[in-house]
Amino acid sequence: MATPILAELPPTEAPWLEIDLTEQRLRAWQGTRVVHECSVSSGANGVGQHEGSGQTPGGWHYVRASIGQGLPENAVFRGRRFTGEVFSPTLGEQNPDRDWILTRILWLCGLEPGVNRGGSVDSQRRYIYLHGTPPHEPMGVAASHGCVRLRNQDLLWVFEVAVPGTPVWLHT
Residues 84-106: tens digit of each pLDDT: 999 999 999 999 989 999 999 99
Q: Is the pLDDT of residue 1 over 80?
A: no
DSSP single-letter state for residue 148: E
Residues 49, 55 contacting (CB under 8 angstroms): yes
Position with higher pLDDT, 13 vs 74: 74
DSSP state at residue 28: E
Residues contacting residue 41 through CB under 8 Å, at least 6 positions apart: 24, 133, 137, 138, 139, 140, 141, 142, 143, 144, 148, 149
Mean pLDDT of 62-80: 98
Q: Is the pLDDT of residue 69 over 90?
A: yes
Nearest to 144 by CA among 126, 157, 156: 126
Q: How confident is the model at residue 161 (pLDDT cuts 50, 70, 90)?
A: very high
Instruction: Give the integer Cα–Cα distance in Å for 8 and 12.
Output: 8
- The pLDDT score that the predictor gives to residue 6 is 62
pLDDT at 48 over 90: yes
Please provide the CATH number assigned to the domain covering 11-171. Answer: 2.40.440.10
pLDDT of residue 7: 66
Ordered by start, the domain boundaries in the chain are 11-171
Instruction: Output the pLDDT for position 8.
Output: 77
Residue 4 has pLDDT above 90, yes or no: no
* Predicted pLDDT of residue 23: 98
**Distance between CA atoms of 45 and 109, rounded to whole angstroms?**
20
The tens digit of pLDDT for each residue in 117-131 reads: 999 999 999 999 999
**Global pTM?**
0.95
Average pLDDT, the chain: 95
